Amino acid sequence: MTEIIIDKRFCGPKTSANGGYAAGLFAQVINGPAEVMLKSPPPLDAPITLKDIGDDNFHALHGENLVAVIRPANVIVSPPTLPDDDGVQHAHDRYLDDAGGEHMLPYCFVCGNKRKAGDGLRIFSGPAPDSPVNADFWTLAKDLAGSDGLVRPEFLWAALDCPSAFSLRLWPRLSLLGRLAADIRRRPKPGERLIVAAWPEKSEGRKHFASTVLLDANRDIIAAANAVWIELNDPEMLEKLRAENR
């Protein structure tokens, strides 16, 4: 068994970890593309144990509470026409326009607009013009690198997470990550500028499906993900999240 602790810097909502970041940490027990199904909010500053349950499946546990199920995955993406650089810049500039300027989780490590540069990733994937795609540029900071000099996989998982939620364009409704499957094809170096692009796939009631890719300077896909988001239908829980994250 392996034990990890997620620092409070890497929050999504203020009281729990960013789902993509946590999933990226958990997924490192799998050799290759992996799927992480979140069963409860990943806690911050608390021990989480990764337990091998056989057949290349793992549980992430906080005490006796099941946080996530981890297993191998097959990630398939078929991107629509992606915006050119001008379209990506336009999308960045329109971040939160469709949400009336309001971010429900403004301190999220990945997409929070109240996180300072050098602290959060500040990936602001707004809607591209005349497109179902939400996109932004992302220049990789030095502190994201591992001991091998390449960006650590948990940060790539994190970047694949939030943009897919924004691509659903559900505001003022809110969805939380239920499942994320990712395939990291190449780990980039700090200093590279990537494009993050996400688009919706389909909806089934409260379940919403979306996909994300990370593109390098040649517009080659270096990472891809499929996500399932669960729309909140509990007004009290939604108001609690709003209050906690103001």
Q: How far apart are the first and last CA of the chain?
A: 37
Which of the four pLDDT bands, split at 50, 70 and 90, describes residue 214? Answer: very high
What is the value of pTM for the model shown? Answer: 0.96
| pLDDT for residue 187 | 98
Domains 2-72 and 85-244 share a fold: yes
- Report how far residue 69's alpha carbon sits from residue 67's, in angstroms, rounded to the nearest whole number: 7
Show the DSSP H helices in the chain as ranges.
19-26, 85-93, 153-167, 235-244
Is residue 99 predicted with pLDDT exceeding 80? no
Which of the four pLDDT bands, split at 50, 70 and 90, describes residue 236? Answer: confident
pLDDT, tens only, 2-22: 899 999 999 999 999 999 999
Residue extents of the structural domains in the chain: 2-72, 85-244
Q: Tokens 């379209």 — which residue? A: 87
The predicted model gives 119-145 an average pLDDT of 97
User: pLDDT > 70: what percent of the chain?
Assistant: 100
Is residue 1 predicted with pLDDT exceeding 90? no
- Superfamily of structural domain 2-72: Hotdog Thioesterase (3.10.129.10)
- Superfamily of structural domain 85-244: Hotdog Thioesterase (3.10.129.10)
94: burial class by Cβ within 10 Å (0-12, 13-18, 19+)? middle
pLDDT, tens only, 148-188: 999 999 999 999 999 999 999 998 888 999 999 999 999 99
| pLDDT for residue 113 | 95
Please tell me the least confidently modeled range out of 41-50, 77-86, 237-246: 237-246
Is residue 122 predicted with pLDDT exceeding 90? yes
